[in-house]
Amino acid sequence: MFPREGGAVGSNREAPRTVAEASEAELVELLHAVLPVHASAGVVLGIGDDAAVLSPSAVRTVATVDAAVEGEDFLSVWPSGYATTGWDVGFKSCAQNLSDVNAMGAEATSALLVLALPAATPVDWVRGYAEGFAAAAQRLGAARLRVVGGDLSGTRTLTVSVSMSGELPGPALLRSGASAGESLIVVGETLGRADVALGLLASRRPADRVEAWDQRARAVSRALFEPLPPLSAGPALAAIAGAAMDISDGLVRDGARLARASGVGLELDPVALQAELATLEGWAGRHASRGLEHVLYGGEDHLLLATLPEGTPLPTGARSIGRVVEGAGVSLAGEHLDERRGFDHFA
Ligand SMILES: Nc1ncnc2c1ncn2[C@@H]1O[C@H](COP(=O)(O)OP(=O)(O)OP(=O)(O)O)[C@@H](O)[C@H]1O
Ligand SMILES: Cc1ncc(C[n+]2csc(CCOP(=O)(O)O)c2C)c(N)n1
Ligand SMILES: [Mg+2]
C-alpha cells in the first residue's frame, strides 16, 4: 500500500516504520527539519507554539487553501502500477497553492499544513512529503515562502490541506477585469501535460508494473505531480493584465469562469491551439492520444490564463491563444465549447 518509492508495488522490502509507531512530536520534528522554516522578516514566530506570529506587511495579503485527498486527487496505487509517493503529494500540494497565490498577482510568504494520515502511513512518507514540498518551493522560486505551522491527525483516507498566504505588491489580479478587444494569453508549460500524465497513470499496462513503461511514459507521468506554475508572471501581469486566473480544471472550464466573472466571451484561436498541441505531441509522443481534448479540457496544469489590452507586448514566456469578445462562454472556430467538460469533483 505504501512503498518507499514511486514505482512497482509488492516488492519484498522490510515493512517500513509507520506513523502509528512514531509520535506526533517526532513527526513535527521531522517536518521542521526538512521544510522551509528558517527565520524571515514576515515571521516573528513559526512552528512550535499554539499558533504562529506573523508581522503585518505594509501591502495587502492574499489567502488560499487547497486539499489533496487520496482517491479523489491522487491514487495510492494507480492502475498502471505506479505508487504515489509522499514526495509527489508534497510537491503538488505546494505548487498548486503557489499557483493560486501567483494568479492573484501576489508572492507567497507563509503556509500552514494539515496532514491527516492513516495509521499505516510510513514515517518515510511524511519525510518524502516535506522534501517534495521544499523541492517545489525551491524549483519554482518561492524564495520567501515559510511553513509556519500546521496540524497532524489520523484518518482512513489520506488527506493533505495546505493554506497559503502571500503579499500583494500591486493591484490584485482578478477574474473579473477582462474587456472585449483584449488578447487572451497563457503563461507556463504546454497545456494538456497533466491530463496526458493522468491518462498514463490511470491506464493498465500489459505488464501491470511501472517498470514496463518506456522512458518517455515515465517522464511524461511526472507532469501530474510536478506542475510548474510561472511564479514571476503573476506579480508582473498584475500591472498590465485585464483579468487572470490559474487553470486547474481545464482551459475551457476555467476560461468560462473568467468570461462569466468579466461579462465577456472568449474566442480561442485554432492556429494557436494547434501549435500548443504540436508542442504537447512533441513532448508526449503517442501518449497524447486524445489530441486537442488534452489541451482544451485537461486539468491540473496550473498555467496562468490572462487577458492583455491590445498592443501590450507579450511578457516573457507568454503566448497568445485567442481574444476577448463581447458575448459569453468560450468558442473555437465559431463553435461554442461545453464548459461542463472540464474537471468537477462532484459531476
Ligand atoms: N468550502 C469553501 N468555503 C468557502 N469558500 C470556498 C469553499 N470552497 C471554495 N470556496 C471559494 O470559492 C472560490 C472558487 O473556488 P475554486 O476552488 O473553484 O477556485 P480555486 O481555489 O482557484 O481552485 P483551484 O484551487 O483549483 O485553482 C474561491 O474563492 C474559494 O475560496
Ligand atoms: C484519482 C484522480 N482522479 C482524477 C484526477 C483529476 N483531477 C483531480 S482534481 C482536478 C482539478 C483540480 O482540483 P482542485 O480544483 O480541487 O484544485 C483534476 C483534473 C486526479 N488527479 N486523480
Ligand atoms: Mg485557482
Cut 0.80: pTM above it? yes
* Residue 155 is assigned to a ligand binding site: no
CATH 3.30.1330.10 spans which residues of the chain? 19-168
48 Cα: distance to centroid of ligand 2 (angstroms): 33
Superfamily of chain region 19-168: PurM-like, N-terminal domain (3.30.1330.10)
Phi-psi region of 327 (alpha: psi -120 to 50; beta: other; left: phi over 0): left
310 is in an annotated binding site: no
Residue 344 annotated as part of some ligand binding site: no
Instruction: Considering every ligand atom shown, identify the ligand nearest to the alpha carbon of residue 102 and give its number.
Output: 3
Bridge partners (DSSP) of residue 259 are: none
Spacing, Cα 286 to ligand 1 middle (Å): 35
Stretch(es) of the chain classified as CATH 3.90.650.10: 183-341
246 lines ligand 1 (CB under 6 A): yes
Topology, domain 183-341: Phosphoribosyl-aminoimidazole Synthetase; Chain A, domain 2 (3.90.650)
- Please name which of 222, 328, 241 lies closest in space to residue 283, comparing C-alpha atoms: 222
ipTM score = 0.89
Task: Supply 125's cell numbers.
Answer: 512518507
For residue 9, the model assigns a pLDDT of: 47
Q: What is the pLDDT of residue 81?
A: 87
How many Å lie between the centroid of ligand 3 and the Cα of residue 165? 14
> Does the Cβ of 248 fall within 6 Å of ligand 1?
yes
Q: What is the pLDDT of residue 80?
A: 87
| Any atom of ligand 2 within 6 Å of the Cβ of 74 | yes
Going residue by residue through the chain, which has 347 residues, state the pLDDT in tens, using 9 for 90 and above: 344 346 544 445 688 999 999 999 999 999 999 999 988 888 999 999 999 999 878 889 999 999 999 999 999 999 988 999 999 999 999 999 999 999 999 999 999 999 999 999 999 999 999 999 999 999 999 999 999 999 999 999 999 999 999 999 999 999 999 999 999 999 999 999 999 999 999 988 755 566 667 788 889 999 999 999 999 899 999 999 999 999 999 999 999 999 999 999 999 999 999 999 999 999 999 999 999 999 999 999 999 999 999 999 999 899 999 999 999 999 999 999 999 997 888 87
Residue 213 confidence (pLDDT): 72
Query: Residue 58: what pLDDT?
Result: 80
Q: Is the CB of 300 under 6 A from ligand 2?
A: yes
pLDDT at 10: 47
Q: Atom 1 in ligand 2: which residue has the minimum CA distance? A: 74
Is residue 124 a known part of a binding site?
no
**CB of 109 shorter than 6 A to ligand 2:** no
Q: Which ligand is nearest to the CA of 62?
A: 1
Centre of ligand 1 to C-alpha 275, Å, is 31
Beta bridge partners of residue 122, listed in sequence order: 18
> Residue length, the chain?
347
